[in-house]
Amino acid sequence: MTTHTSAMPIPTTTQDTSAALFSHASHTLCLLTGFPYLAWIPALCLRATAKNAHNRAHATTALNFTLTQLMVWSVWAVLIVGALVTSSSTFAVVALVVLSLSGLLYFALGVYATCRALFHAYRIEPFRYPAYLAFRMVK
């Protein structure tokens, strides 16, 4: 018995990389956004164990940093996933590149400033944070 060749699956010459790209991008997003989602815990603990208002103010500065990072990274994750999903247009590809570069730059600045704020809160040293990196959400 012979099987007709049209019933045989046709091998594809190119792999579908869109699923792999989306998978790698989502794992990268999870790793990058894990920092602000977890960094608020030591800031909150430092604030709760502060012995006076001065120490509490330094811990609050660190908490403001982490909450700002949390908000920014949540919005950034939604935007970059949206750009990944609609990456068929030229505008979406340009937006994806701009979002990626700006997100990594902000992440580097934010991690540095948040770690510095946590260190100063732990050591109880005076520290003022730049307004463009954190909003004053907790007083």
Given a contact cutoff of 8 angstroms between Cβ atoms, the answer to whether 82 and 25 are in contact is no
Query: Tell me, what's the pLDDT at 111?
Result: 75
Given a contact cutoff of 8 angstroms between Cβ atoms, the answer to whether 44 and 56 are in contact is no
Q: How far is CA 69 from CA 100, 114, 129, in A?
A: 16, 9, 13
Query: Tell me, what's the pLDDT at 132?
Result: 47
Nearest-angstrom CA–CA distance, 56 and 106: 26
Given a contact cutoff of 8 angstroms between Cβ atoms, the answer to whether 26 and 81 are in contact is yes
The tens place of each residue's pLDDT in the chain, 139 residues long, gives 555 555 656 655 555 556 666 666 666 666 665 666 667 777 777 778 878 887 788 778 778 777 777 787 778 777 777 777 776 677 777 777 887 788 778 777 777 777 777 777 666 555 555 554 455 555 5
pTM of the predicted structure, to 2 decimals = 0.52
